[in-house]
Structure 1
Amino acid sequence: MKKIHLLLIKAFIKPFLATFFVVMFILLMFFLFKWIDDLIGKGFEWYTILELMAYASAANVSMALPLSVLLSSIMTFGTLGENYELVAIKSAGISLQKAMRPLFVVIIMLTIGSFLFSNYMLPKANLKFSSLLYDVRNKKLAFLIKPGVFNNSIPNYSIRVDAKDEDGTLHNIMIYDHKGTNGVPKVIMAKQGQMNKTADGKFLLLNLKDGVQYEEQPSSSGAYNPRQVFNRSRFKETEPRFDLSSFEMNRTDPNAFGNSTPMLNLKGITKKGDSLGKLLDTLNMSTDRVVANNFKQFNVTKGYSKVKMAPKQIGEATLNSIPGGSKKLALDNASNTVSGIMQNLANTGPRHDDLVGEIIFTRIEYQRKFTLAASCILLFFIGAPLGAIIRKGGMGLPVVIAISFFLVYHIITTVAEKSAREGNLNPIFAMWIAVIVLSPLAVFLTYKATVDSALFDVNYYKQVFNKLLRIKQKQA
């Protein structure tokens, strides 16, 4: 390997790693902003949130990797052009295509790695992420008592305090106990209390001092009884226990989400697509058979009779060709037949649409495994010549241009995917349309960079504009 190749690889690796982690951090912040309400105030351990963020980061690689390749390639060749190192490379007899070869090898390695990642690691990460996010979103709020507000987080209890000190001491406590009271709550009032947990953390201990307990026995007959028993008891100190098992986060088995298409590799997607195709064929055959039976129910002797008769030709006035005494019966039979067909289609139609949508989604996800790898190559051949043309490094203009091109690529892919899922576009074509549209642009930019075109040189366009003005002035 030549020294120039090592120079180019080193110049590419540093901005690639930097931009990749920056983009991953930004996308991770978007994730936290989206799900912040489901994470705050639930008492999660730090490693649970860290685990969720790790799985979310794996899901963001599909966006971070292509953008990092585009941005780092623009920055690498832009820096080389700005420092006139690219001019020195060309003066040494090395063309732009030859200078891009070592980086192209690196991009091929990234492409293979991205394909293996999307086919083997990403499905498992999506599986873990979906199951953990489901558990996080369904976990109840942590027990947090706010002064002046009734808290109903603990089942069968309502707790209210007037004030709460920094050390956790509660003042003027009121507790409504609805557990096993047949609709008549038991009321506990105390002047002061302290909250503690048991050693295993499964129970909340509320140490109450100087209080009174009111309990009214419910009527056995359900009617009002003026002589109903009412108990009142005072206490100096008591310590009721509250079960906190409802606040524990139960981890769902990830295999419960395993049949979802994004959690499958190519082999699993192919198998699921075949299963869905068989289900759709079975549903179509069943629907055809039911509909056909509605028309053949009066032709049971067809094929068994040896009597040959010429078929009777019925014109436009079908109803007039029916004998007068049978018209009402014929209309009733036709109405019942149509009603049966409509009812059958109403029952099978939604299921048919769901199966078709799932089949389309499996084809989209199958192609997505390859488009992630192809996007790295495409955006490299856009970014490298673009950086050589603009001859500007750093995080200024290259970032703006890179984000602009990536947004074009992402918007085309998103719109085409949505159209495919609605059945308006072929799934294979939809997932590759961005590559098809932007490939000519990559070829054009590579050609312009090879011939040292001043495509983004403002002074060049000023000179052209001034020449046009002079020509018009001479003609005038």
Structure 2
Amino acid sequence: MKRLHSFILKSFLGPLAFTFFICMFVLLMQFLWRYIDELVGKGLEWTVIAEFLFYVSATLVPMALPLAILLASIMTFGNMGENYELTAMKAAGISLQRIMQPLTTLVIIISISAFFFANYVMPVASLKTTTLLVDIKNQKPELILKEGIFTNDLPNFSIKVDNIDKETGMMYKLLIYDHRDKRGNTNVTVADSGTMVTSPDKQNMTLTLYSGNMYQDVKQKSRRDKNHPSRRIKFQEYETNVPLRSSELKRSNEDRYSKNYRMLNLKQLVHSEDSMRNRLDVERDRLVNGLLAKHYFKKDAKSMRKDSVRYEELLKKTKDADSLFKAAPLTKQLTSVSSALSFARKARENISRKENEILSQEKWIIKFTNEWHRKFTLPFACLIFFFIGAPLGAIIRKGGLGMPVIVSVLFFIFYYIISMTAERFAKELVLPPALGMWISSLIILPLGIILTYKATTDSAVFNIENYIDFFKKINPVKFFKKKNA
């Protein structure tokens, strides 16, 4: 049995590693396609790009690992079924559960490792990815001159070039606005041609212009001066140094994102959720007490002081507020009703505003609850997909990358759509968080049980002839003849 187990493990580990890296590559390309505009033209060093891709790859493991296990299990058992290896094992008296035993142990170990990965590695990877992505977005792009378009990437300069010689780097028909004096477009240079050369340390750029004119507005001594003096300088060659922006990526502090729900482990999620719920309960109590004190029991203090004696007398004569209200003059009744309506409208506006704030806080707290459940849904999904893929491969009996890839992708898309839809419902408070995060696993769990049972009993689930024979047995003509008779 040791040799058999070793053979089965070797048959599974190869496709698992291959499909896992294929899934990671596809998901990583999808991520890069989404953020390609943020990465191109920033002058980033290869070490920064490699670091960013490493952290992004770590955040994509929860999507790649279950799909890789599903695809690898279908391929493994499909190859063994296609090569009649499963038939030989069953003929030797080895059941399918016994064949799946070493892989089941391996998948359980992978699932436990996935839990620890989701709890301890994923929060750190998400924090690093978010911080680095924001830093890259804030990084200024490199100076890229385009023909016929003003470029403002050079500090305090706006440059337009009509033509650029790609081979020599010579630029023709330059129009430059120099804003270094912070007085607007008061310094304009027109040149027939010119070059730009960056210093070796990339801190400065030497701008050399040929055959041009420089127009400068002279600063006035006082605002009352109605004259606008200017000067024109004609040159054959003009050279100036322009300081460049730092090309190094400025790293921001990670603490500003460390309280996000994606950056926390189980213990931190529970602590944060409890703290936010306590604050929300305090805010609700404060709202109720404020409404009771300011809106529900309202009285005019000045009238009470002026007519206190009369009020006491009326209060002794009357038994309730309605009788007191009817005893008041008509003008007082109208004034009271108008004041009550005004107070009610203010109370309604206050309640509506606070309700939206409380609802927003509840939705934010639900995200922490969803993230807590997500730590467990990843390892559970790995187990379920294995118990779907292994019996499905034994039933299909097709190896390679044809049928297994199609079936795996269909199952995964079905699972992913249910998972994302239910999670969104949970975030919008339509479903409870536990149900929203676990409903996709609960839906496909019976499918795994049914497929395992069918594969154990050697049931031809995908044999079309069985279904054709079943429908042939159902003869609607005979059914209606018996009914009419």
- Tell me if TM exceeds 0.5: yes
Residue 218 of structure 2 corresponds to which residue in structure 1?
217
* Cα gap change, 1:448 to 1:310, in 2 (>3 Å): farther
Aligned residue type for 1:345: I
Matched position secondary structure for 1:43: coil
How do 1:355-394 and structure 2 match up within 5 A?
A: 355-394=361-400
Aligned residue type for 1:403: V
Distance in structure 1 (CA, Å) of the matches to 2:103 and 2:82: 19
How do 1:130-279 and structure 2 match up within 5 A?
A: 130-165=130-165, 166-180=167-181, 182-222=183-223, 225-226=226-227, 228-245=228-245, 248-279=248-279
The CA deviation at 1:468 is: 5.0
Matched position secondary structure for 1:24: helix
Matched position secondary structure for 1:234: strand
Query: Unmatched 5+ residue regions in structure 2?
Result: 305-311
The CA deviation at 1:309 is: 9.6
Query: Unmatched 5+ residue regions in structure 1?
Result: none
* Cα gap change, 1:180 to 1:418, in 2 (>3 Å): same
**Normalized against structure 1, the TM-score is what?**
0.91
Q: Is structure 2 residue 416 aligned with structure 1 residue 442?
A: no
How do 1:397-408 and structure 2 match up within 5 A?
A: 397-408=403-414
The worse-fitting range, judged by mean Cα deviation, of 456-465 and 108-117 is: 456-465
How do 1:209-358 and structure 2 match up within 5 A?
A: 209-222=210-223, 225-226=226-227, 228-245=228-245, 248-293=248-293, 294-298=295-299, 312=320, 314=322, 323-358=329-364
Percentage of identical aligned residues: 39
The CA deviation at 1:167 is: 2.8
How do 1:14-25 and structure 2 match up within 5 A?
A: 14-25=14-25
Aligned residue type for 1:334: A
Provide the alpha-carbon RMSD of the alignment. 2.7
Distance in structure 1 (CA, Å) of the matches to 2:101 and 2:325: 79
The worse-fitting range, judged by mean Cα deviation, of 357-366 and 46-55 is: 46-55
* Cα gap change, 1:323 to 1:92, in 2 (>3 Å): farther
Matched position secondary structure for 1:89: helix
C-alpha distance after superposition, 1:321-378 (max 9, x if no partner): 7652421221133123213313422442332122101111100000000000100001
Distance in structure 2 (CA, Å) of the matches to 1:309 and 1:61: 79
Distance in structure 2 (CA, Å) of the matches to 1:313 and 1:340: 22
How do 1:62-141 and structure 2 match up within 5 A?
A: 62-141=62-141
Distance in structure 1 (CA, Å) of the matches to 2:289 and 2:46: 58
C-alpha distance after superposition, 1:211-234 (max 9, x if no partner): 3322111444546835x3222223
Matched position secondary structure for 2:188: strand
Question: Does the 8 A contact of 1:287 with 1:344 survive in 2?
Answer: no
The CA deviation at 1:122 is: 0.7
Matched position secondary structure for 2:459: coil
Distance in structure 1 (CA, Å) of the matches to 2:57 and 2:90: 40
* Cα gap change, 1:299 to 1:115, in 2 (>3 Å): farther
* Cα gap change, 1:444 to 1:235, in 2 (>3 Å): same
Matched position secondary structure for 1:239: strand
C-alpha distance after superposition, 1:62-119 (max 9, x if no partner): 1100101111111111111111101111111111111111001110111011111111
Matched position secondary structure for 1:252: coil
Q: Is structure 2 residue 436 aligned with structure 1 residue 423?
A: no
